[in-house]
Structure 1
Amino acid sequence: MPENLLAPGAVLALWTLVMLTWAGVTRFQAFSKVGIDLKTAPPGGRGVDLEGVLPPLTNWKSHNYTHLCEQPTLFYAVIIFLHLSGGSTDLTRALAWAYVVLRIVHSFWQSTVNRVPVRFVIFSVATLCLFALSLLAVIATLG
């Protein structure tokens, strides 16, 4: 495990862009199948407009990308707080890597199978890691 607490954040940022690419490629491939021509599409379209138009399996990747732009923003801040306050320990690095691995597993699950009970468990365990990291960041920053 790398000693740098910021490494898990860099990996998750890269993973988020991988998901953006996967979502984009999947959507563009689906457009022709459902008869969407971007040259004639009305201006101002949004991703939400494709719900019910594109197959769910296509939209799930986009949903996951959106999720990666939500809660992980807290993760990035927390690991920076820990890094700057000297809170990088074996425990915080393990929790940070666990969070990232769980979010990547969550991405694969949501993007392919998307059974909510399993997805909820993966998300919940990742959230517990983030909660623990946040608590440790408060302790580290209060000194």
Structure 2
Amino acid sequence: MSDSLLAPGAVLALWTIIMLGWVAVTRFSAMAKVGVDIKAAPPGGRGADLENMLPPETNWKSHNYTHLCEQPTIFYAVLLFLHLSGGDTDLTRGLAWAYVVLRIIHSLWQATVNRIPVRFTIFALATLCLFALSILAVIATLG
């Protein structure tokens, strides 16, 4: 893996865009199967309006993309705090990569199998990594 603390953030950003592509492909395909015509949709429609029209397996990918736009925003900020304050260490890089790997596993699980106990465990482990990174960022920024 890279020696840069910023690399895990770049990988997670790329993964988020990959998930967006997966959402688009599966959502447009599912919409065609159920007869949704986006050209005929009323103004102001949102993806959430499709929840009851599309199969759950299609919506899972969208839910995960939303999740990747939530908690990881804290991750990106913490990486910057650590990078700018000299907190780029083997420990922080290891925790950052663990967070990214766990979030990718979480994405794949939620988008395909989506059994909540396993999904929650993966999420909890990733959150523990982020919590540790956040504590280390506070220590690094306080000097």
**Pair in the same fold by TM > 0.5:** yes
- 1:52 is displaced (CA, Å) by 1.3
1:55-134 paired onto structure 2 within 5 Å: 55-134=55-134
1:44-63 paired onto structure 2 within 5 Å: 44-63=44-63
1:99-138, Cα deviation, whole Å (9 max, x unpaired): 0000000000000000000000000000000000000000
State the AA in 2 paired with 1:122: I
Q: What CA distance in whole angstroms lies between the structure 1 residues aligned with 2:2 and 2:35?
A: 48
RMSD across aligned positions (CA): 0.5
What is the TM-score when the length of structure 2 is the normalising length? Answer: 0.99
Q: What CA distance in whole angstroms lies between the structure 2 residues aligned with 1:91 and 1:131?
A: 13
The match for 2:137 is 137
Q: What CA distance in whole angstroms lies between the structure 2 residues aligned with 1:134 and 1:27?
A: 35
What is the TM-score when the length of structure 1 is the normalising length? Answer: 0.99
| Identity score, percent | 78
- 1:43 is displaced (CA, Å) by 1.3
Are residue 27 (structure 1) and residue 4 (structure 2) matched?
Answer: no
Q: What CA distance in whole angstroms lies between the structure 2 residues aligned with 1:118 and 1:141?
A: 35
Instruction: Note the residue ranges of structure 2 that are not aligned, 5 or more in a row.
Output: none
Q: What CA distance in whole angstroms lies between the structure 2 residues aligned with 1:32 and 1:132?
A: 44
Q: What CA distance in whole angstroms lies between the structure 2 residues aligned with 1:32 and 1:16?
A: 24
1:45 is paired with a residue of what secondary structure? coil
State the AA in 2 paired with 1:57: E
Q: What CA distance in whole angstroms lies between the structure 1 residues aligned with 2:42 and 2:89?
A: 52
- 1:32 is displaced (CA, Å) by 1.1
Give the total of aligned pairs.
Answer: 143
Instruction: Note the residue ranges of structure 1 that are not aligned, 5 or more in a row.
Output: none
1:14-61, Cα deviation, whole Å (9 max, x unpaired): 000000000011000011111101111111110111111100000000
1:39 is paired with a residue of what secondary structure? helix
